[in-house]
Structures are given as structure tokens and as C-alpha cells.
Structure 1
Amino acid sequence: MITNRDKRMATTLARIENSIYRILSEPEIMARLANYGYDFGAMHSARNLLEEVIRLNRVPDNYDGKERLLLESFKTVKNDFENFYNRHRRLVQEMDNAAAKAIWRRTYPEHPDYQKWLSQADIFYVALLENDSVKEALMKENVPESELMQARNLIDVMREVFKEYRKQKGSELKEVIDLEQKISELEDWYNRFVEINRIAFEGEPQTLEILGIPVAMN
């Protein structure tokens, strides 16, 4: 969805882009502005800043899409895992088996922090897979060892997807911060640039019009 902010940004960037490229393509205008510090090198630096803003301005939507997909993928895997984990924990808790009760106590209460909760789940399944008596008891409840291994593998998948999600979210945040900084730099440059052009081309409204700069009203 294109917002009003996006439209304003696009209009502003198009205006600045027009000014920069017209100056770079008009030797006479360039020569006049060079007297005010806007020589070829300065205009190329401004163009590079503009292109960086344009690049960064496209990034958030791309990242948002990737972030959404990763988050949905994570939720799906987590839901699949919890279907296993909740059932297996309940069965282990209800067993009249000292080893099972010891395993259950090692993962109770469930930690509210996601990373620590995942570590608890990891401990739970490693302990189950290493204990033959508990595995045999679970077999009688229609929980084969392959199901325990499947649940254990989902922990690794969750960790990887969550890691990518956090990485993506962190990258997006950095890109947004960089964009805001670059926009501020570009706006400061352009505001000063407009003032200088009005001085350099005072009495030449047609030149200002070529550069996309409104004529100052008295």
C-alpha cells in the first residue's frame, strides 16, 4: 500500500533528482554554480547521496515482506512443535516411573523466556531419547522414538528460523535508521541548494524553472 508519506517522498526525490541531473547536463548552469561551491565534484556527491536515499527508501518494504514470511514460518513450526511437546510432557508427567518424573521436574515450570523455554525443551527430548525405560513406556502410549526425534528436530528448525527472523528484523531497523539520517542530510543539502540557486539566478525565473525550483515570492 502506497501511503501519503510515500507519495511525498517520491515527489521530493524526483524534484531533487531533476535539479541535480539538469545541472550536470547544463555546462553554463554548472559554471555559474561553481562560483558558489557547487562544482562538478560537489554535484556528484549530492547525486550519490540521492541514490543512497532512493536505495534505502526501497528497503523497508522488501524487508517487511521477508520478515513477515519468516515470522509466519516460525509460528507454523512452533505450533507443530507445541502439539508434540504438550502431549509428550503430559504423558511423561502422568507416568509412574521415577526416571520420567525426574525428566519432567527438570523442565518444570516452563520458563517464560523463549530462548530458555527452548533450552528446557531440548533438555527434555535429549533426556527422553537417552532413557530406554521411558521410551518403552511412551511406546505403549503410541509415541514411537521416531516421533520424539521429529519433535527434537523441530527445536533446531525453530532456532534457525527465529535466528533469521531476528537477523532480518535487526537489519530492517538499521536500514530504517540509516534512511532517516540520509534523508535529513539530503533535505539539509537541498534547502541550502535552493537558497543558493535563487541567489545565483536572481531575475532568471526560467532557469529556476528548468531546475524545478519555485521562484521565491516577495
Structure 2
Amino acid sequence: MATIRRRTEDQLIETYRVSLMNVENQTEIATTMAEYGYDLATITKGRELLGATITAFNFNQQEDNETIQARSDFDVKVSLMTEKYASHRRKAKVAFRKDDVTMKQLGLTGSYSRAYVKWIATMKTFYSGVRSNAAHLAKLLVFKITEDEITACITEINALETTRTLYLKEVGESQEATKAKDKALAELEEWMSDFYAVAKIAMEDKPQLLESLGLLVRS
């Protein structure tokens, strides 16, 4: 739905741009509209609203693209960390299967929540608990999980949290940019609605001129 709406706004803005360009460039239209209050100064106001809308529209699109990229970066990190933790957890449950206390301390009992906040907390408990205990590290080394790998995972978890923070920041900025764009477009639409209403009256006997403004006239 977002793609359809974006395309509709693109077309609307382009229609307004062509209308305002033609009312300035075609002498007969300019003269006729001036007689009904849409002189150069008034048309300039419309062009200013159009310019502001285009600027807001482009900025919104830029923010949306940045949000998409930030989400992609976040998803990649989540996927990689999910795979690593699942592998390490599986091996650790075998390594500590006869040590109920350690199993509980490292969060290895039962299943674990996939909800982001709880998932992050579970991984932190596991990796920090292993790294701080030489005996744990020694047991996991048998399963080819090195201390360097444990440390790297802790670093990756921190990077994942940073990436999520950036993503949420981009979401907020995108939402604000959307509000600004919607406001600018609404103001432009209101101005253009009045413009077209007057144009239909001013050129009701000149359908070819109305069509130059993007208004279809039934024959």
C-alpha cells in the first residue's frame, strides 16, 4: 500500500507542477487567470508551496530509504547472532548437561524467549557468564568454542544493540518527515483545489486551455 500511495503522490505533484508551469508559460491562460485574481504574484505563491512540497517529499523519501537500510543492517546482525547463539547454546547444553547449577546460571535450562529484549538478556547472561569463568571456557574449548569467539560474540551483541538504536532513530525521523510532507502536500492540495475551481470558471468556454492545466474536459 505504501508504494501505491507514494506513486499517487508522485503523480499528483507532477500534475501540479505542469499546471503551474503552463499557467505561467501560456500567455492566454496567464491573462485569463489574472482576470480572476490569479496574477503572477498569486501564482508565485502556488509555486512556493509546490517547491516546499517537493523538498519535503524528497526529504521524506530519503529518510524512508535510510530507515530501510537501517532495518536491513539490523536484520542481518540479528540473523548472524541468532545462528551463532543457537550453535553455542546447543554445544553448551551438552558440555554442562551434568551441572544443573551452571545450566541455570548460564540460562541453558528449557527454551528461551525470542522476544528481542529477553533474547538479548539471555545471550548476555550466557556469554558474560562463560567469559568470566575459566572452567567454563575450558569445557567449551573441547567443543571448539574459544575465548576469542566468546569475546567476539559479546562485541557483536553490543553492535547489535547499537544498530537497533540507530534503526529506531531512523524510524522516528522518517515518521517526522512523513508528517512534514503530509502537511506541505495538504497545503498545496488546498491551494490547487481553489486554483482549479477558478480555472474551470475562467476557461469554461476554452476546454483546450483547461486540458493544458491537466483538467480533463468531457466532450
| TM-based fold match above 0.5 | yes
Cα offset for 1:117? 1.6
Q: 1:71 to 1:14 in 2, by over 3 A?
A: closer
Q: 2:195 aligns with which of 184, 193, 196?
A: 193
Work out whether 1:100 is the aligned partner of 2:136: no
Give distance in 2, aligned partners of 1:210 and 1:87: 66
**TM-score normalized by the length of structure 2:** 0.71
Counting matched residue pairs gives 215
Q: Which residue of 2 aligns with 1:19?
A: 19
Alignment of 1:1-218 (within 5 A): 9-23=9-23, 38=38, 42-58=42-58, 62-63=62-63, 65-94=65-94, 95=96, 96-97=98-99, 100-105=102-107, 110-200=112-202, 208=210, 211=213
Give, in whole Å, the separation in 1 of the partners of 2:51 and 2:133: 61
One-letter amino acid matched to 1:79? S
Stretch deviating more after TM superposition (186-195 or 29-38):
29-38
Q: Per the alignment, do residues 10 and 125 of structure 1 end up closer, same or farther by CA in structure 2, a change over 3 Å counting?
A: closer
* Alpha-carbon offset, residue 194 of structure 1: 1.6
Alpha-carbon contact 2:107-2:126 (below 8 Å) kept: no
Q: What is the DSSP-based 3-state SS (H/G/I as helix, E as strand, rest coil) of the residue aligned with 2:106? A: helix
| Closer, same or farther: CA 62–107 of 1 in aligned 2, 3 Å | farther
Instruction: Quote how far apart the aligned CAs of 1:155 are.
Output: 0.5
The farther-off stretch of 111-120 and 54-63 is 54-63
Structure 2 residue ranges without an equivalent (≥5): none
C-alpha distance in structure 2 between counterparts of 1:107 and 1:153, whole Å? 24
Cα offset, 1:176, TM superposition? 3.7
CA RMSD of aligned residues (A): 3.8
| Change in 2 beyond 3 A, CA 1:147/1:30 | same
State TM-score, norm by structure 1.
0.71
Gaps of 5+ in 1: none
